[in-house]
Structure 1
Amino acid sequence: MACMFYSLNLNVPVISGLKDTAYQQKINAEIQAKANRDKADFIQKAKQQADDLRKRGFPVIPVTLTITHEVKSKPGDDIFSMEVITDAQMGGTSKPDLDFYNIYNGETAHVITLQELFGPGYREKLNREIGKQIDERIAQGIPYFKDQWHGISDTQGFYVQDGEVVIVFDKYAIAAGYVGQPEFKIPWDGVLHEKAKLPQ
């Protein structure tokens, strides 16, 4: 969809194949609702930017909102994992918004947490391994900002793929912009800890 001052390239995912179809319907509704909010917010900002440029006598350059996704681990395994990327190109340097969906694919589905994946002391384990990888990359000349690294957050983005948990940071958060979204692969033993497999 396009108009004079903006275009939309929306590939909003619809999850299928989960055992818990009620949860599948719920999470799909949440994904669509967020896409609708992002679309409305983008159009409002695009219109405001176009109006401002016209008032100042500058040509209006169309801006673009793109929503894409990538499935990391498919249903059929214990975990379904997917990344949704929302990228609003407003004429300057963009900072994509990343959303991760990591779902236990059981008869009663729920969102998987890092604690369920790594068990007690998960923060210390992950922070130690990520810190080590950051040091290795700095030694290779990659511009990471070690002083901006304060450990993983309560809402840390991650996905599960091929026996590894991949921790993801936003663009600019801990490295120069051209690095993109830094990712750190952490080996995982495949064991879901605590209540992961129990009805919620």
Structure 2
Amino acid sequence: MRQSVLKLSVAFSLCVGAIGVGGIVPVSADTLFSPVKAVPILAKLSQAVTIQEQILTSKTDLLSTNIRVPQLAGMLDMHYQEELNWILLSHAQQDLANWEQEAASASEQAAADGYAFRPYELYISYALKSDGADNGIVSLVVTTEGFTGGTSAPRVDTYTIRNASEATRVTLPELFGTDYKTIIDAQVRKEISANPDQYFADDFKGIGEEQSFHVENNEAVIVFQKYSIAPGYVGSPEFRLALDNPSTSEGAGSSDAFVISLNGKQKAVVALTEEGSKAAILPLREVAEALGLKIKWNAENRSAEVTTADSSFKTTVVTGKDAYSVNQKTRSLGAAPILMEGKLYVPVRFFSEVVGATILFSE
């Protein structure tokens, strides 16, 4: 992976090399760190990821800085964590070097023209939108903003990662399926139409192949750079789409249609609601195997062992027992597995909260 990351760093340097005194050229950091290979995504966090920030300062009084660089700690994939932290730090260092150079050049020009130079400013901040404690998704947003005396154009970079023994980058197709562009574009256009004074409607041509986004509070937040589709006072526009958990829907009727996505595999299903219960349920084997999982049935105690193909993740469900293993802890999902007509059914929440799949309502 080191060779791959080095190539990505070079690509980033070429991008930030275009930074000028008028602001920063927008670039999506989601394009800068793609996994080398597809791997199972079901291993769960034993604890939340945390941030240990690193402070950078300028070597010149021509540039005022407040630079806080996030460094992740607690990821299951230590190698991925090391590489990502290296990327975060090197990008900040490159931004700092570029702005120091720009400030020096502007100062020399000011002296030549006979006017006082006002120091430039550079700010780098971050926000950990999701620490992975609930769904195994770590989502980080880094904002880089420079000032030359006028308005600024901050760059918002997003990093959304599935925290597993072999970490992977979370993608919009994984969250919303193959029709992700249609789904997201429709929601963005709907919000733009509802607030026409806040957006440049004609400038929105649809999301890009490497659209910036982060995950927060069970929502995918689609992020656009400042000025790209809205006036400057709007800032960096954001559009939120729920990563729906069907189990929270009550009174939905006797059945509901969903699409379950996991590591590039999808399964369209119709969930049933057991009489007298509000919990939507699905046939365990049928759905699990469609998602690439393995099922081993134990007839003696009427339980099923669920594992990934490489056995990096394992959990056991027991008929009639509302107790599920999540992050090495047992929790209730509001309904126990039940046997019906020779099939074991589990709550829909099992696939989202235990397995880590993404579940969306079908239209």
Residue matched to 2:285: none
CA distance in 1, matches of 2:217, 2:139: 11
Matched, 1:193 2:248: no
Q: Deviations over 1:142-196 (max 9, x none)?
A: 3311110000011211110001101011110001111101110111136553438
In 2, are the aligned partners of 1:78 and 1:106 still within 8 Å (CA)? yes
Contact 1:103 1:110 (8 Å CA) reproduced: yes
Q: Which residue of 1 aligns with 2:173?
A: 115
> Helix, strand or coil for the counterpart of 1:4?
coil
Task: For 1:41-120, list aligned pairs within 5 A.
Answer: 41-76=98-133, 77-120=135-178
- What residue identity is the alignment partner of 1:99? D
Q: Is the contact made by 1:18 and 1:75 (CA closer than 8 Å) also made in structure 2?
A: no
1:180 aligns with 2:240: no
Q: Alignment partner of 2:86: what SS? A: helix
Q: Which consecutive residues of structure 2, in runs of 5 or more, have no partner in the other structure?
A: 1-56, 246-259, 266-291, 293-307, 311-363
CA–CA distance in structure 2, aligned partners of residues 69 and 91 of structure 1: 23
1:160 maps to: 215
Provide the rounded CA distance (Å) in 2 between the counterparts of 1:143 and 1:23.
39
Q: How far 1:82 moved relative to its partner?
A: 0.6
- CA distance, structure 1, for counterparts of residue 61 and residue 111 of structure 2: 12
For residues 61 and 224 of structure 2, the distance between their equivalents in structure 1, rounded to whole angstroms, comes to 34
TM-score (norm: length of structure 2): 0.52
Higher strand share: 2
Question: Which amino acid in the other structure matches residue 195 of structure 1?
Answer: G
Q: Secondary structure at the match of 2:160?
A: strand
Contact 2:214/2:221 (CA < 8 Å) preserved in 1? Answer: yes
2:61 pairs with 1:4: yes
**CA 99–115 in structure 1, closer or farther in 2 if over 3 Å, else same:** same
Instruction: State whether residues 212 and 224 of structure 2, in contact with CA within 8 Å, keep that contact through their aligned partners in structure 1.
Output: yes
CA distance in 2: counterparts of 1:128 and 1:163, whole angstroms: 19
Question: 8 Å contact 2:192–2:198 — kept in the other structure?
Answer: no
Kindly state the Cα deviation for residue 5 of structure 1 after the two structures are TM-superposed: 1.5
Cα RMSD for the two superposed structures: 1.8
8 A Cα contact 1:119 1:194, kept in partner: no
Who wins on radius of gyration, i.e. which is larger? 2
Query: What percent identity do the matched residue pairs reach?
Result: 35
Aligned partner letter, 1:4: D
Residue number in structure 2 paired with 1:135: 193
Question: 2: distance between equivalents of 1:154 and 1:65?
Answer: 29
Evaluate the alpha carbon distance shift between residue 50 and residue 30 of structure 1 in structure 2; reply closer, same or farther with a 3 A threshold: same
For 2:93 and 2:77, locate their aligned partners in 1 and report how far apart those are by CA, in whole Å. 24
Distance 1:188 1:75, change over 3 A: closer
Establish whether residue 171 from structure 1 lines up as the match of residue 226 from structure 2. Answer: yes
Distance 1:119 1:25, change over 3 A: same
Q: SS at 2:195's partner residue?
A: helix
The alpha-carbon deviation at position 133 of structure 1 amounts to 0.8
CA distance in structure 2 between the aligned counterparts of 1:144 and 1:94, rounded to whole angstroms:
18
Q: Is the CA contact 1:119–1:193 (under 8 Å) kept in the aligned structure 2?
A: no
Cα 1:107/1:195, change in 2 over 3 Å: farther
Which stretches in structure 1 are left out of the alignment for 5+ residues?
Answer: none
Question: In structure 1, what is the Cα distance between the partners aligned to 2:130 and 2:261?
Answer: 15
Aligned ranges 1:13-32 → 2 under 5 Å: 13-32=70-89
Give distance in 2, aligned partners of 1:28 and 1:66. Answer: 18
AA partner of residue 113 (structure 2): R
Q: Which has the higher contact order (CA 8 A, sep 6+)?
A: 1
User: C-alpha offsets along residues 39-82 of structure 1, whole Å, 9 cap, x if unaligned?
Assistant: 11111111111111111111010111111000000032310001
